[in-house]
C-alpha cells in the first residue's frame, strides 16, 4: 500500500514464498505476468537481470525474516538491481558489515525501511534541531512500548505468542531490541543527529520459555555529553505501538508520539506550550514536502511508510537513468543499517556483562 | 491516492480540464495513453462507451465544482458508465432529484464521496447503534468547525480568501452548509440512522462581501423524538478540520473526532469511560473489514477515503461483471445525495424565515 | 472548604436547617458556640445584628434552594449584614429585581457564587479579550453537558433521579437552564464582556414525568454582531461536569475546559497552537493573583470557588472597616444575578413561543 | 492551605524563622497570639510542652530544609509532641535511622509529607493492585520530570537557578534524587507495594558549577522479579511537575499523571482502554473516602496534600485522646522516610561506582 500510494511504483515481478507453488499462486492473486513470478530469489535476480533494462525491475523489496536479508540483498545487488530492505539490516553485525561492502562495490541504491522517519512531524523535529532551535541537547528519552507478546503467566504458565522474531536462529542475537529497539535508536539518531558513545543495557526475558529478550532498557551516553534513556518492550500490557520520543535542550524541548503523529509538542520554561501540526504553512520545507493532505486531514502510518519509498524512488530513478547518485536522499541507508547492528550487538554485550558501561562496537 | 491505495483501481483515461490543452498536458504528466486523454467530458463519455467492454473505463470519478456534478454524471450514466461523484450531489435540490431519475433508469452504480463515513471507528459507532448498545438516542451534537476562511476584519476590511465554493453561481444556495454542513449531516445520519423531521436554522455570513454563508447553526428535531445540534463554520480561527460527533443515548454515549480518528470514546453514567481503538479484535466485523494496519499503527484520512472507493469497487465489479447489484454496499448513494440537497434547501429556507421551525422538504 | 482554604474566613454562627433541632445538632458538629446556632434565619439575622460590631458576623452565606435566596438575603441585608448567595439569584425575574433594590438601598456587599469565574485561566481568557488579543469576536460556543439526571427509559420507564431543582415550586421557571445554563451564560459574559441582544431557545424535557426542562439549546445574537451557541443538559449520559467555552475572534481563538482547568488553548490560523498553563510567569497579573501553587501543581474546583470568596472578602473587609466600596471587585454581583434571571426568563419565553427570536427582557 | 481545608486543624503557635524578629512579624501576620510565636524551635518545644494538655499544640509541622528535619523533630518528639515532617526525612541515612529510634521510643505520631500519595486516584491504583487486578507486576516506569533548573548554557554559561536544595551542606548527598526522586520512589512503592532489591543508577549534573545532581536515571530490580525504570530531573526544559507512573501487569496495566490527577488509565491487551475518574461510585472505598467533590468537579494538589493531613489527624487525635495507635493509618511513616534515605544513599553509591548493580543498603 505504501508503494502504491503515490502511483509512482508498480509491482511487476516477485518471488512470494520459498515454496514455488505458493509463490505462483500469490503472483496470480496479484495479477502478475506468470513469467515474472519466480520460484526462488536467485532465479528472480538472474532472470530479471537478463531482461532489457527498460523491462526489468528497477528495484526489489525484501520483506523476509532477518536471517535472509543479507543473502537476498547480496544476490540482487550483484545482479545490478537496487534494493529496499526491511530492518534490522542483518542477522549479525558481521553479516551487516559484509553487506555494506557489497553495497559499496555495487554502486546501487540500498534503502532500509526505518519507516517512522517518514513522518512529516519527525522531519520537522529533525529540522528544528538542525536549525539549533533546541540549543544544546541534554537528554533524550525514547520509548517503544508494545504489549502484543504479554501472556497471563498466572493463569496458564505458557509463553503465549511466539513468532520468528523470538527464534535466535532466524532473528539473531535479540528479539525485542532487534525488532523495535532499533527503530527507537534510529528515530533518536535521525532526529537528533547524536551518536551513541557508550551504553549500560539490561535486556530481559519476562515470559519463561522464550530464548531471546522481550524487553530492555538502555542508559545511553552520547558523544558530546548528552544522555539518554531508551527502552523497548513487547510485554507491556495494553500498549499498542506507542513509539515516542522526547528531546530536551537548553533552549526548548520537543515531544512526538507515533500514535498521534500529526502533532509535535514544543516545551520551554517560562513560555506557553506550542503544538505544531502537520499540513501548516509554518512548518519547514521538508515537513511540507513529505505531506499529502491539508491541515486537519490527518496522515498516518501508511503515508509515513510511503515517504521512505518516495525518497528511495528519487534515488532509484537517478540510478536507473544513469545519473550520479546524490549524497543526501532522505531515506535510511546501509550505514544506518550497520549502526543498528552495532547498537544491537553492543546492547547484548553490555547486558551480558551485568549492565557494564560498554563502548559502541566498531561499525 | 485513495483510489491507488489498495491496488484495485488504475487510472487509464480522463479529461482534466475544460481547456483541451491543459487536459492533454495533465494526462501526459499522469503517463496516460494520449488517445484516452479527452478534450471534454462529453467526448470522453462517447469515446469510452464506444470501446469494447474489456477496454473501456469501469467508472468515472467526478471531482469538479458543484454545478457540473449533475451534467457530467448524466452524460456518463446515459453512456452506460458507472459514476463516483463528489459531494454535495448537485447545484440545487431539483437538479439532484433529476439526477436520481437518471441513476435509477440507468441501473448503473452511483457513489457519492462522503468520505468521513469511511473511517473504521465511524463504522464501529454505527454498528454499536445498530446493536442497540446506546439504548434510545436522545441527543446528537455534530460539529464541523473550520477556520480557513477567517480574515482579520479589523486590519484590512477585506473578504480574504475566496474560492468557487463561495460563488452562488457555482456552489448553489449555500457555501458552508453545502460544503461541510452536508458532511456533518451525512455523518450523523450514517452513524445514527436518524432522519431529520424539522429544523430551526441560522446561516450567517460573517465576512462582509461574501454572497453566501460562511457559518451556520441548526437545531434539529429527528423523527422519533431525538434532538440535535449541527453546526458548521469556516471562520472559526485556528480550527483545521475538526469534524466531530457526540451521540447521547439512554444506555451510553459515544464521541468521535476526525482529527483523532483511531479512537471512539464511550461514556456511561456510573461506569468508567471506555476508549475503543482501531485495529483491535474486539471491534465489530465491519470496523475490522475496513481496517488495513494493526492496532497502534494509525490510519487516517486517505485510508478512510479509500474505503469509499473499496466499497464502490465491490459494486462496480458486480455491475461490470453483469451480476445483480446488492442492496447494501457500504458507500453513500444517490439517496444520500438527494437527502443532502434536501438538508441544504431546508436549512436555507428556515434561515430565510427568521429561523422558523421548518419541516424537511420533499426528497 | 472554599471559605476555609485561605484562612481568612471563619465560621462562627449559622442556621443549618429549617428544623431547629437539626440546626442545633449541625452547629454542634461544627463546634460552634451553641448561642450562635439559630433556629431560623430571621432569628439569626436579628440576633447577630444585635451583637456589637466586633463580634457579629461579617457576612452570611446563603446556600439554600432557589426560592429562599431572596427572602433570606433581604432579611440579612436589611439587618445590615453582607451576603454571599448561591445562584441563580432568585425564584423569578421579578423577585430578583426586587432584591436588587434592597441591595442598592442597603449599601452592603452582595456576591453571587458563579464559582467558575474564579478559575485563574478563566481570568486569563477574560484578560486576553480585554487586551483585544482576539480581535473582533465572531462566535462563542459555550456548553454545559452533565449526565447525572439520565435514566434508562427503555428499561424502567421511570423519571429516575429527582431533586428540588426539578420542582417548579422551588426552582422556578427552569431546572436545567436555571441551574447550569446560567453558569454557562455567566461564564461567557464574564470572559467576553458580550451582552445578549436576542435569542432563539429550545428547552426540552427528555425524561417523562419531569415538570421542568432537563436540556436546552439556545442560539444567541450578541450586541455588536457576534453570535453564539449555548447548550446545557443534565441527561447527556456519562458527561460529568463538562462546562467548556470556545471564543472565536478575528485574530485568534481560545478554548477552556472546566475538567482540565489549568490550561487555556489558543488557536490561530497559520500559527502553531498555544497552550497557556496556570502558575506561569507569562500569565496576566490577575491570573497570577488568583493562583496559589507553582506551575505543574494543579489547582481545581475548590480553589476556584475560594477565589470568589477571596474577592468578596476584599469587599466585605472594606465594608466592615467603613471604607468606601470600590467599583470593580472580581466577584459576581447583584447585576450578574439579575442578568441571569433575565436570561432564564427570556429563554423560557422564546422556547414557549416555538423558538422565536426573542429580545432579552428588561433587567 | 492543605491543613486549613477541612476545618479540622487550626494554626495556634509557631516559630517562623531562625531570626526571632522575623518569626514575630510572621506570627503577627498570621494573627497568632504573640505569646505563642517563638524565637526558636527549642523554646517552642519546651514552652508548648509546659502548657496544659488541653491548650498545647497537638502536633508540629516541620517545613524547613533537609538538614534541620531531624534535629527539630527530635526536640519535639522528646517533648511529647507529635510531628508532621517534610521529606526527605533527613540529611543522611544515619541521621534518619537515629530519628527512627527517637520516634519509636517516643510513641508519638510521625508523618512524612509524601503528598502525592494523597491523590484519590493514586489510592485507587494501590487498591487495584492489592485486589490483584493487575496480575503479576512485570514492570514499573516512574518519572518525575521538572525543568525549573534549566539554564541556557549556550548563551550565558552560568549555573542559573540555585537554592538550598543544591547545597550539599543543607540538602545532603543528593539534590534531584533527594528532592523529587524520593517522591517517585515513594509513589511507586505506595502503589505497588514492591521493594527494591538492587539498582543501577546514573546521577548527572548537567549544569556546570552545581555541586549535586540535577538529573538521574535508575534501573531497578524489585524483590520478586519485577523491574523498573525511575527517572527524575530538574533540567528538562518546559516540564513543570510531571510526576507520572505506569505499572504493567500480566492481567492489565495502569497509568497516572500528576498533572491530570483525576483520571486513572487502565490498559489491557485485546480490551478497550478504560479511564476511571475521581468522584464516581464505582471507585474503591478508599478512593471515595479521600475525595471531597462530585465527579467532574476536579480536585488537585492542595486536596491531595490535605489528605496526608487528614490521615495524620486521625492518628494524632487518637494519640492526643490517649487511644492506642492503629497499625494502618493512610499516611507516610518514619519507615517510609528511612526507606527514602536508603534509596538516596544506594543511588549515590551505585552512581559513584560506575552504575554498578548495587543492593539496597540496610535500613
Whether chain B has a CB inside 8 Å of the CB on C86: the answer is no
Distance (Å, whole) CA B264 – CA B271: 16
User: Phi, psi at residue C167, to the nearest 5°?
Assistant: -100, 115
Whether chain A has a CB inside 8 Å of the CB on C294: the answer is no
Q: Across the strands, what pairs with B110?
A: B83
Residues of C in Cβ contact (< 8 Å) with D303: 300, 302
Residues of C in Cβ contact (< 8 Å) with B237: 248-253, 267-269
DSSP string, A280-348: -TTS-HHHHHT--S-TTS---HHHHHHHHHHHHHHHHHHHHTTPPPPS--SS--HHHHHHHHHHHHHHH
User: Phi, psi at residue A93, to the nearest 5°?
Assistant: -60, -45
Whether chain D has a CB inside 8 Å of the CB on C242: the answer is yes
The yes-or-no verdict on residue C157 having pLDDT over 70 is no
Residues C249, B237: C-beta atoms closer than 8 Å: yes
Whether chain A has a CB inside 8 Å of the CB on B296: the answer is yes
DSSP letter at A359 equals E
Distance (Å, whole) CA B125 – CA A35: 46
Cell of D215: 538529573
DSSP letter at C140 equals E
Reported as a single tens digit per residue, the pLDDT across C207-232 is 998 999 999 999 999 999 999 999 99
Helix, strand, coil distribution of chain D in percent, nearest 5:
40, 20, 45
The yes-or-no verdict on residue D157 having pLDDT over 50 is no
Residues B259, A258: C-beta atoms closer than 8 Å: no
Of the residues B260, B273, B296, the best mutation for testing chain D's interface (the one with the most D CB atoms within 10 Å of its CB) is: B273
Q: Across the strands, what pairs with D61?
A: D84
Residues A299, B300: C-beta atoms closer than 8 Å: yes
Q: How confident is the model at residue D161 (pLDDT cuts 50, 70, 90)?
A: confident
Cell of D108: 508519638
Query: What residues have CB less than 8 Å from A84, skipping those under 6 apart?
Result: A59, A60, A61, A62, A110, A111, A112, A113, A308, A309, A312
DSSP string, A263-295: EEEEE-TTS-EEEEETT-TTS-HHHHHT--S-T
The pLDDT assigned to D7 comes to 86
**3-class SS of residue C165:** helix
Whether chain B has a CB inside 8 Å of the CB on A8: the answer is no
**Alpha carbon separation from B176 to A34, B92, C250 (Å, rounded):** 52, 15, 18
Distance (Å, whole) CA A61 – CA A11: 10
Please name the member of C4, C240, C292 whose beta carbon is closest to the beta carbon of D296.
Answer: C240
User: Phi, psi at residue A268, to the nearest 5°?
Assistant: -150, 135
Cβ-based neighbour number of residue D240 at 10 Å = 24
Residues B229, C231: C-beta atoms closer than 8 Å: yes
- Kindly identify which residue of chain C lies nearest to residue A280, measuring between CA atoms: C270
Whether chain D has a CB inside 8 Å of the CB on A131: the answer is no
Please name the member of D270, D277, D281 whose beta carbon is closest to the beta carbon of B280.
Answer: D270
- Kindly identify which residue of chain D lies nearest to residue A271, measuring between CA atoms: D238
Percent of chain C with pLDDT over 90: 94
With 0-12 / 13-18 / 19 or more C-beta atoms within 10 angstroms meaning exposed / middle / buried, residue A291 is buried
What residues of chain A, 27 to 56, have a C-beta less than 8 Å from chain B?
30
Q: How far apart are the first and last CA of chain B?
A: 33
Residues of B in Cβ contact (< 8 Å) with D276: 272-273
Please name the member of B237, B269, B354 whose beta carbon is closest to the beta carbon of C238.
Answer: B269
The yes-or-no verdict on residue D285 having pLDDT over 70 is yes
Query: What residues have CB less than 8 Å from C320, skipping those under 6 apart?
Result: C53, C58, C82
Of the residues C252, C272, C280, C287, the best mutation for testing chain A's interface (the one with the most A CB atoms within 10 Å of its CB) is: C272
Cell of A300: 498516518
Query: What residues have CB less than 8 Å from B172, skipping those under 6 apart?
Result: B66, B67, B88, B90, B91, B92, B178, B344
- In chain D, where does DSSP find H-type helix? 20-29, 41-50, 66-78, 93-106, 120-130, 153-156, 168-171, 176, 182-192, 285-289, 301-320, 334-352
Residues of D in Cβ contact (< 8 Å) with A241: none
**3-class SS of residue B100:** helix
Of the residues A272, A282, A287, the best mutation for testing chain C's interface (the one with the most C CB atoms within 10 Å of its CB) is: A272
Reported as a single tens digit per residue, the pLDDT across B25-69 is 999 999 899 999 999 999 999 999 999 999 999 999 999 999 999
Distance (Å, whole) CA C144 – CA C183: 8
User: Phi, psi at residue C185, to the nearest 5°?
Assistant: -60, -45
The region that residue A210 occupies, defined by phi over 0 for left and psi between -120 and 50 for alpha, beta otherwise, is: beta
Bond from prior residue into C88 cis (ω within 30 degrees of 0): yes
Reported as a single tens digit per residue, the pLDDT across B149-200 is 998 664 554 556 778 999 999 999 999 999 999 999 999 999 999 999 999 9
Please, what is the average pLDDT of chain B? 95
Reported as a single tens digit per residue, the pLDDT across D303-318 is 999 999 999 999 999 9
Please name the member of A200, A206, A239 whose beta carbon is closest to the beta carbon of D267.
Answer: A239
Whether chain B has a CB inside 8 Å of the CB on C200: the answer is yes
Residues C204, B227: C-beta atoms closer than 8 Å: yes
**Alpha carbon separation from A69 to A96, A98, B30 (Å, rounded):** 9, 12, 34
Q: What is the mean pLDDT of residues B232-244?
A: 98
Helix, strand, coil distribution of chain B in percent, nearest 5:
40, 20, 45
- The minimum CA-CA distance between B263 and chain C, rounded to whole Å, is 17
H/E stretch holding D143 reads strand D137-145
Please, what is the average pLDDT of chain C? 95
| Helix orientation angle between B93-106 and B66-78, rounded to the nearest 10 degrees | 20
Q: How far apart are the first and last CA of chain D?
A: 33
Whether chain D has a CB inside 8 Å of the CB on B294: the answer is no
Q: What is the mean pLDDT of residues C275-299?
A: 98
Please name the member of B259, B279, B292 whose beta carbon is closest to the beta carbon of A298.
Answer: B259
Instruction: Count CA within 13 A, CB hemisphere, residue C245.
Output: 26
DSSP letter at D3 equals T
H/E stretch holding A194 reads none
Distance (Å, whole) CA C277 – CA B85: 46
Residues D259, C262: C-beta atoms closer than 8 Å: yes
Please name the member of C1, C239, C259 whose beta carbon is closest to the beta carbon of D298.
Answer: C259
**Alpha carbon separation from D306 to A232, D284, D290 (Å, rounded):** 38, 19, 9
User: Phi, psi at residue B95, to the nearest 5°?
Assistant: -60, -40
Residues A1, B1: C-beta atoms closer than 8 Å: no
Please name the member of A292, A296, A301 whose beta carbon is closest to the beta carbon of B299.
Answer: A301
Cell of C353: 413561543
Residues D274, B272: C-beta atoms closer than 8 Å: yes
Q: How confident is the model at residue C153 (pLDDT cuts 50, 70, 90)?
A: low
pTM of this structure: 0.97
Q: Across the strands, what pairs with A249?
A: A137
CB pairs A-D closer than 8 Å? 141
Reported as a single tens digit per residue, the pLDDT across C233-274 is 999 999 999 999 999 999 999 999 999 999 999 999 999 999
| Distance, CA of D290 to chain centre | 17
Residues D272, B281: C-beta atoms closer than 8 Å: no
State how beta strands B358-359 and C59-62 pair. Answer: unpaired
Residues of C in Cβ contact (< 8 Å) with B233: 139, 248
Q: What is the mean pLDDT of residues B239-254?
A: 98
Whether chain D has a CB inside 8 Å of the CB on B281: the answer is yes
Cα three-residue angle C75-C85-C54, rounded to 5 degrees: 65
Distance (Å, whole) CA B139 – CA D202: 55
Residues B277, D272: C-beta atoms closer than 8 Å: yes
State how beta strands D358-359 and A59-62 pair. Answer: unpaired
**3-class SS of residue B174:** coil
- Kindly identify which residue of chain A lies nearest to residue D140, measuring between CA atoms: A236
Distance (Å, whole) CA C127 – CA B331: 48
Reported as a single tens digit per residue, the pLDDT across D327-361 is 989 999 999 999 999 999 999 999 999 999 999 99
Cα three-residue angle D210-D213-D218, rounded to 5 degrees: 165
Please name the member of B30, B277, B299 whose beta carbon is closest to the beta carbon of A240.
Answer: B277
Q: For every one of its 363 residues, what pLDDT tens digit does chain A have, with 9 covering 90 and above?
A: 999 899 889 999 999 999 999 999 999 999 899 999 999 999 999 999 999 999 999 999 999 999 999 999 999 999 999 999 999 999 999 999 999 999 999 999 999 999 999 999 999 999 999 999 999 999 999 999 999 999 866 455 455 677 899 999 999 999 999 999 999 999 999 999 999 999 999 999 999 989 999 999 999 999 999 999 999 999 999 999 999 999 999 999 999 999 999 999 999 999 999 999 999 999 999 999 999 999 999 999 999 999 999 999 999 999 999 999 999 899 999 999 999 999 999 999 999 999 999 999 999
DSSP string, B259-320: TSTTEEEEE-TTS-EEEEETT-TTS-HHHHHT--S-TTS---HHHHHHHHHHHHHHHHHHHH
Whether chain C has a CB inside 8 Å of the CB on D164: the answer is no
State how beta strands D82-85 and D59-62 pair. Answer: parallel
**Alpha carbon separation from A222 to A219, B95, D145, D176, D351 (Å, rounded):** 10, 67, 20, 22, 18
Whether chain D has a CB inside 8 Å of the CB on C297: the answer is yes
Sheet holding B110-112, edge to edge: B59-62, B82-85, B110-112
Q: What is the mean pLDDT of residues B198-216?
A: 96
Whether chain C has a CB inside 8 Å of the CB on A273: the answer is yes
Of the residues D260, D273, D287, the best mutation for testing chain B's interface (the one with the most B CB atoms within 10 Å of its CB) is: D273
Whether chain B has a CB inside 8 Å of the CB on D294: the answer is no
- The minimum CA-CA distance between D274 and chain C, rounded to whole Å, is 13
H/E stretch holding B13 reads none
Query: What residues have CB less than 8 Å from A337, skipping those under 6 apart?
Result: A85, A87, A88, A89, A90, A96, A99, A100, A110, A112
With 0-12 / 13-18 / 19 or more C-beta atoms within 10 angstroms meaning exposed / middle / buried, residue C203 is buried
Touching A: which chains, 3+ CB pairs < 8 A? B, C, D
Residues of C in Cβ contact (< 8 Å) with A273: 274-277
CB pairs A-B closer than 8 Å? 90
Amino acid at each position: 500500500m505504501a508503494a502504491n500510494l503515490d502511483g509512482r511504483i508498480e509491482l511487476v515481478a516477485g518471488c512470494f514464498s520459498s515454496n514455488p507453488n505458493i509463490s505462483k499462486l500469490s503472483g496470480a492473486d496479484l495479477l502478475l505476468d506468470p513469467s515474472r513470478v519466480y520460484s526462488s530469489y536467485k532465479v528472480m535476480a538472474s532472470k530479471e537481470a537478463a531482461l532489457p533494462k527498460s523491462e526489468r525491475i528497477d528495484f526489489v523489496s525484501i520483506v523476509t525474516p532477518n536471517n535472509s536479508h543479507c543473502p537476498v540483498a547480496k544476490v540482487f545487488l550483484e545482479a545490478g538491481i537496487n534494493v529496499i530492505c526491511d530492518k534490522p539490516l542483518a542477522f549479525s553485525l558481521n553479516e551487516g558489515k559484509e553487506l555494506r561492502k557489497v553495497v559499496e562495490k555495487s554502486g546501487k541504491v540500498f534503502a532500509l525501511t526505518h519507516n517512522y522517519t517518514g513522518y512529516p512531524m519527525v522531519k520537522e523535529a529533525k529540522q528544528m534541531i538542525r536549525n539549533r532551535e533546541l540549543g544544546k541537547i541534554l537528554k533524550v528519552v525514547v520509548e517503544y512500548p508494545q504489549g502484543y507478546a504479554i501472556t497471563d503467566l498466572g493463569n496458564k504458565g505458557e509463553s503465549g505468542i511466539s513468532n520468528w522474531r523470538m527464534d535466535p536462529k532466524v532473528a539473531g542475537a535479540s528479539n525485542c531490541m532487534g525488532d523495535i529497539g532499533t527503530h527507537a535508536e534510529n528515530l533518536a539518531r535521525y532526529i537528533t543527529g547524536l551518536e551513541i558513545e557508550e551504553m549500560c543495557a539490561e535486556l530481559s526475558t519476562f515470559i519463561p520459555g522464550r530464548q531471546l529478550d522481550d524487553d530492555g532498557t538502555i542508559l545511553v551516553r552520547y558523544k558530546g555529553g548528552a544522555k539518554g534513556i531508551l527502552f523497548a518492550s513487547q510485554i507491556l500490557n495494553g500498549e499498542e505501538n506507542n513509539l515516542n520520543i522526547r528531546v530536551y535542550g537548553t533552549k526548548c524541548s520537543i515531544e512526538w508520539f507515533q500514535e498521534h503523529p500529526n502533532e509535535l509538542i514544543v516545551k520551554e520554561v517560562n513560555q506557553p506550550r506550542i503544538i505544531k501540526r502537520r499540513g501548516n504553512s509554518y512548518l519547514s520545507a521538508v515537513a511540507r514536502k513529505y505531506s499529502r493532505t491539508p491541515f486537519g486531514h490527518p496522515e498516518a502510518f501508511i503515508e509515513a511508510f510511503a515517504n521512505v519509498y518516495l525518497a528511495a524512488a528519487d534515488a532509484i530513478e537517478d540510478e536507473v537513468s544513469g545519473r550520479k547518485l546524490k549524497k543526501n536522499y532522505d531515506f535510511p541507508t546501509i550505514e544506518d543499517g550497520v549502526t543498528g547492528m552495532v547498537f544491537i550487538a553492543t546492547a547484548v554485550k553490555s547486558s551480558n556483562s551485568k549492565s557494564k558501561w560498554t563502548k559502541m562496537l566498531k561499525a
